[in-house]
Chains A and B, each alone.
Chain A
Amino acid sequence: MKTVFIDCSPKQRLSASGFVATFTRMFVFGRKVQCKLRTPKDFQPIFEEIKDADSIVFCMPLYVDGIPSHILPFLKEMENKFTNKNVYVIANNGFIEGRQNEPLMQNMENFCHRANLNWCGGLGIGGGVMMNVMRIMFCVVCALSLLQVVLNGFDFSLLKDSLDDALVILILCCGIISFDLWLAYCINNGKEYGKHYTRIMLPSFVFIVCADIFFTIISLFQGGIFRGWFSKKKPTM
């Protein structure tokens, strides 16, 4: 069995879609390949990988309620190139509600029908940016804790606080992890997954405050706050 994971994020590094692709890949058996789809140059190598694959997993961000524009020509070229392949989708969006991915899921289902591929369903994740930030934090927390343990002569009692932090992250992501494991199970068994939506386990009003703080800090560092952050700018060109 061969599964091709396609990371559809336009970002070069540290994308949420790349992370969910890598995470899901850990639980899928058999041959597995992960490809990045950013430019038309990536099309042919991915088609080569798909030739002998059983399943394709598209991991993509939600852009303006739909599929990111650079993926559409790839899908068009893929129409009627292959048959008898199972297609799964993992979509993530910045807003907290996973169900905001619904139009994208339908786009992908419509694509499968036109392309004669087996639509097997997808997972829509709300709070994708926060998930991405937390997984980076999780790695940093683990690395720092281990460093602390080593510097203090292998005193493992120091791990307790960092384990608590890691536990909080796991609890906030428990929906994403469990729905993703279920998806991996379906990929492994060639089963239909259906459409499911999950999110970071935070109430939306708390999530909105977190998102506002996140963008305020980034805008402060990048200087956008001082360059007409909310201003109704008129075209100059």
Chain B
Amino acid sequence: MKVLLHDLKNIDLTNKADQVIVADGKYAPCQGCFKCWTKHPATCALKDSLQEMCRILGQADELTIITENYYGGYSPNVKRLLDRSIGTSTPMSTYRGGLMHHTLRYWKHDSLRVIVYGDIVEAEKETWRQMVKANSLNNGFTDYSVEFMNEWEGSVL
């Protein structure tokens, strides 16, 4: 399944993937309770549109994220969604890439593609490369890529 997650306002990308998620920010941030692991697995304790988001991201073979640049990291709306989706993994731990990580609830995914738009300086690009590499390892993606653009260009999809 191809999943597209983006924070673009007033741009319709409905037909660009099997499932398109708009990170509109109309949901609460993660409370760090771990109940999506320990109490009601793969279900967030907060009852809003992200309650079962991890189930969608967990089943993505190809995940594309379009995000505004925030200091070499995701925009608040996208990050809020990712923070609320740690139910894609289980509380058990293992080694991946020589580092400790949680075991995956679903399966290994094919590719993580991150498209970053906005004003980005060189140091932030370097941070992005490390960030996406770490995300890819953390979430069990086989392949990853990161692209930069000053303004959103629909032709990249």
A→B interface (CB under 8 Å) = 9-11, 15, 61, 63-70, 72-73, 75-76, 95-97, 100, 102-103, 106-111, 113-114, 204, 207-208, 211-212, 215, 218-219, 222-224, 227-237
* Segment of B9-17, B131-139, B141-149 engaged in the interface with chain A: B131-139
Whether A64 pairs with B75 at a CB distance below 8 angstroms is no
The 10 closest A-B pairs by CB, nearest first: A215-B91, A69-B80, A69-B79, A106-B127, A110-B71, A222-B39, A72-B76, A70-B29, A65-B134, A233-B42
B37 interface neighbour in A66, A109, A224, Cβ under 8 Å: A224
| 0/1 interface trace, chain B 15-46, chain A, CB 8 Å (1 if under) | 00000000000000111111101111111000
Q: Mind listing 12 A-B residue pairs with CB under 8 Å?
A: A10-B31, A11-B32, A65-B131, A66-B131, A67-B73, A68-B83, A72-B75, A72-B76, A107-B71, A107-B72, A207-B100, A219-B91
A108 interface neighbour in B56, B71, B100, B121, Cβ under 8 Å: B71
Distance of B6 from chain A, by nearest CB (Å): 16
A233 interface neighbour in B32, B35, B41, B92, Cβ under 8 Å: B41
Whether A204 pairs with B100 at a CB distance below 8 angstroms is yes
**B side interface size, CB within 8 A:** 54
Write the chain A residue with the least CB distance to B130.
A103
Besides the known contacts A66-B73, A106-B126, A235-B56, 7 further A-B residue pairs in the complex with CB atoms under 8 A apart: A67-B79, A68-B32, A72-B70, A100-B134, A107-B73, A224-B41, A229-B41
B→A interface (CB under 8 Å) = 29-35, 37-43, 51-52, 55-56, 58-59, 70-76, 79-80, 82-83, 86, 90-95, 99-101, 105-107, 121, 123-124, 126-127, 130-131, 134-135, 138
B52 interface neighbour in A66, A232, A235, Cβ under 8 Å: A235
Residues of chain B contacted by A229 (CB below 8 angstroms) = 41, 90
Distance of B101 from chain A, by nearest CB (Å): 7
Distance of B130 from chain A, by nearest CB (Å): 5
Query: A230 vs B105: C-alpha distance in the bound complex, in angstroms?
Result: 6
Whether B38 pairs with A218 at a CB distance below 8 angstroms is yes
Whether A11 pairs with B40 at a CB distance below 8 angstroms is no
If A64-B138, A107-B71, A235-B56 touch, does A219 touch B100 (CB 8 Å cutoff)?
no
B71, B94, B106 — which one has the most chain A CB atoms within 10 A of its CB? Answer: B71
Distance of A132 from chain B, by nearest CB (Å): 11
Query: A146 vs B59: C-alpha distance in the bound complex, in angstroms?
Result: 53
Residues of chain B contacted by A107 (CB below 8 angstroms) = 70-73, 127, 131
If A96-B100, A212-B92, A231-B41 touch, does A9 touch B32 (CB 8 Å cutoff)?
yes
